[in-house]
Amino acid sequence: MTAIQRPPLPPFTRESAIEKVRLAEDGWNSRDPERVALAYTLDSSWRNRSEFVEGREAITSFLERKWRRELDYRLIKELWSFTENRIAVRFAYEWHDDSGSWFRSYGNENWEFDENGLMRRRYASINDLPIREADRRYFWPPGRRPDDHPGLSELGL
């Protein structure tokens, strides 16, 4: 059986690392837990805030819970650093809860990939900042961030 590959594959160049980050952002902005989970190994290991998640099935369940709580979710990721099979990103996303309170969540992630380009490890540190709806900066329709929408650095985030 041939292993499933998720290009770009390690070892990463600056260009392929930027592409990998954008593909991850696009996947998460789909808010489709099944689609997102396919980017991870079957035995992928996560630390997300204070929660530890093991395996693709648990990742899917985690994401289903996340997006039931974090409504109108929109995310921007930006490459911070990379090596042969690791990428570090910073990110910020906006969302609101079911009472209409808005938040911007800031964080950093460290990723490690296997030889097929699947993420084997993900360590995420995230902080939530309550914001007023008037302070939102992400207004694209649900789904992929448009190519002409500013990134984190351009937005001063």
Instruction: Give 25-82 as a 3 state SS string.
Output: HHHHHHCCHHHHHCCEEEEEEEEECCEEEECHHHHHHHHHHHHHHCEEEEEEEEEEEE
Stated pTM of the model: 0.96
The answer to whether position 30 is within a domain reads yes
Residue 99: give the domain boundaries. 14-138+150-155
pLDDT in tens, the chain (157 residues): 567 999 999 999 999 999 999 999 999 999 999 999 999 999 999 999 999 999 999 999 999 999 999 999 999 999 999 999 999 999 999 999 999 999 999 999 999 999 999 999 999 999 999 999 999 999 999 999 999 999 999 999 9
> The CATH number of the domain where 75 resides is what?
3.10.450.50
